[in-house]
């Protein structure tokens, strides 16, 4: 199960992502882009690799619910899942 925990609602709109209650990365919306950065599990320095990045209509937050749904669902699909919940 994928859970997105919203940690900031704007500037930047941000979510921490958990897979089966284990933190795996974060989504940030800033400067007209949405980026998903995944935690590198074998790295002891908490480094991340950008897995998803795309331009959006909004700046520090998604412009619409449709834009939010499209990009969050695209990220979840990259992780091999089809369902998620936002808390």
Burial class (CB in 10 A: 0-12, 13-18, 19+), 5: middle
Per the structure, how many domains does the chain have? Answer: 1
* Per-residue pLDDT, 3: 95
d(CA 9, CA 77) in angstroms, rounded, equals 23
Q: Supply 12's token pair.
A: 């930047």
| Residue 42: pLDDT band with limits 50, 70, 90 | confident
State the residue range of the domain holding 81.
2-86
- pTM to 2 decimals? 0.89
Give bridge partners of residue 86 from the DSSP assignment: 4
Q: E strands within 11-83?
A: 13-19, 22-30, 33-39, 48-55
List, for residues 53-79, the tens digit of each pLDDT value. Answer: 999 998 899 999 999 999 999 999 999
List, for residues 11-40, the tens digit of each pLDDT value. Answer: 999 999 999 999 999 999 999 999 999 998
* Per-residue pLDDT, 41: 79
């Amino acid at each position: 199960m994928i859970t997105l925990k919203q940690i900031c609602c704007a500037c930047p709109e941000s979510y921490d992502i958990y897979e089966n209650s284990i933190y795996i990365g974060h989504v940030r919306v800033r400067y007209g882009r949405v980026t998903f950065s995944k935690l590198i599990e074998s790295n002891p320095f908490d480094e991340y690799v950008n897995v998803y990045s795309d331009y959006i209509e909004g700046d520090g937050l998604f412009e619409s619910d449709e834009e939010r749904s499209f990009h969050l669902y695209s990220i979840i699909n990259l992780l091999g899942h089809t369902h998620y919940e936002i808390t």
